[in-house]
């Protein structure tokens, strides 16, 4: 009998999908071995053990987590998000998120439009992307900011600039990548450039600096400005261009051979970096209540600045 069917027959309080997820998460052992495939065939003599984690809270809880606040007023708060922080709670990340920290800092002030799991969240950064974010504290601010992000700055002052360390150097030092982005047909956990069924995605890029021998540069620092805001847009677009981000485990894994060819010190620095080399360096928008145009910048975090120094020494 299949492992998921075996468990479903003996644990009727759990749905089949819930049991499958517990298997995939490595919480089921058969004969003392962890099994992660639901289709595994269970033999009669085998002992099956299952670990059921405690239920996660239905609503995020306030936590005392320090925030780097660039600006705060009655309507919004602008923060400098560190790499490694998840923006909002999700399965496997119920605590330690930006939302938990914001609830601890703002209490009940956060806008409720985003729902109980995402109060005040107007836009997001990937867990391992650092940099500037704005969060709404009132519903009026949330509506105003959401309208600007939906417009992508085409008729207003919204401005977003990111710094990315990429493998190689684009043939054109400035350019625009315009594609459709949707779920990858090969891996639904990833995004990809698709021919149909995706959403319009536009990224403007400029090469700021190159690293390594002039005749054969190893990498480049690129500024990316977004005209749209799709999931993983910069990571997908730069990989589509043939220049994925250094350290990107999802879209740049094919470039591990480049890491192996680096001098030992540089190779160690890249391997120790542990995330995609992407930083949200600038965010500009119109204050949704006062109408004032505001621009915020974030300096490169220490880990990325150090990695750039290593590449400059090549």
CA dist., res. 86 & res. 234, Å (int): 18
CATH number of the CATH domain containing 70: 3.30.2350.10
135 plus 258 within the same structural domain: no
Which of the listed residues 50, 70, 87 is the one where a domain comes to its end? 50
Same domain, 262 and 187: yes
Domain that holds residue 177: 155-314
Each residue's pLDDT tens digit, 192-245: 999 988 999 999 999 999 999 989 899 999 999 999 999 999 999 999 999 999
Is the pLDDT score of 56 beyond 60?
A: no
| Pair 196, 312 in one domain | yes
Same domain, 209 and 279: yes
* Statement to judge: residues 165 and 308 lie in one domain: yes
Tens-place pLDDT, residues 73-127: 999 999 999 999 999 887 667 789 999 999 999 887 888 766 666 788 999 999 9
For residue 10, the domain's CATH number is 3.10.290.10
Q: Among this protein's residues, is 303 annotated catalytic?
A: no
Radius of gyration of the chain (CA): 22
- Strands in 109-184 per DSSP E: 130-136, 159-167, 174-183
How far the first Cα of the chain sits from its last, in Å, is 57
- Please check whether residues 88 and 125 belong to one and the same domain: yes
Write down the pTM of the prediction: 0.80
Maximum CA pair distance of the chain? 71
Number of domains the chain is built from? 3
Element (DSSP H or E) covering residue 207: strand 199-211
Beta bridge partners of 283: 160, 296
Which of these is catalytic: 80, 126, 248, 250?
126
Residues 212, 165 share a domain: yes
């Amino acid at each position: 009998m299949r492992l998921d069917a075996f468990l479903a027959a003996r644990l009727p309080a759990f749905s089949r999908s819930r049991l499958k997820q517990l298997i995939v998460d490595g919480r089921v052992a058969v004969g003392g071995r962890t099994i992660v495939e639901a289709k595994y065939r269970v033999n009669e003599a085998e002992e099956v053990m299952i670990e059921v984690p405690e239920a996660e809270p239905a609503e995020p809880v306030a936590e005392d987590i320090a925030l780097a606040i660039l600006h705060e007023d009655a309507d919004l708060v602008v923060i400098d998000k560190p790499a490694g922080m998840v923006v909002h709670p999700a399965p496997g990340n119920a605590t330690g998120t930006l939302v938990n920290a914001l609830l601890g800092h703002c209490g009940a002030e956060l806008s409720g439009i985003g729902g109980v799991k995402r109060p005040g969240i107007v836009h997001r950064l990937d867990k391992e992307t650092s940099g500037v974010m704005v969060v709404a504290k009132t519903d009026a601010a949330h509506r105003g900011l959401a309208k600007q992000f939906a417009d992508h700055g085409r008729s207003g002052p919204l401005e977003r600039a990111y710094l990315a360390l990429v493998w190689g150097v684009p043939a054109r030092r400035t350019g625009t990548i315009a594609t459709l982005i949707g779920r990858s047909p090969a891996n639904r956990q990833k995004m990809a450039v698709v021919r149909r069924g995706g959403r319009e995605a536009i990224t403007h890029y400029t090469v700021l600096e190159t690293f390594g021998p002039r005749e054969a540069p190893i990498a480049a620092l690129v500024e990316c400005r977004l005209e749209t805001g799709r999931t993983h847009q910069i990571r997908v677009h730069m990989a589509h261009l043939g220049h994925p981000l250094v350290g990107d485990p999802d879209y740049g894994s094919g470039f591990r051979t480049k890491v192996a060819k680096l001098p030992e010190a540089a190779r160690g620095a890249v391997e120790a970096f542990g995330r995609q080399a992407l930083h949200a360096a600038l965010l500009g928008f119109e204050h949704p209540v006062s109408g004032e145009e505001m621009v915020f910048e974030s300096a490169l975090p220490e880990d990325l600045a150090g990695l750039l120094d290593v590449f400059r020494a090549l």
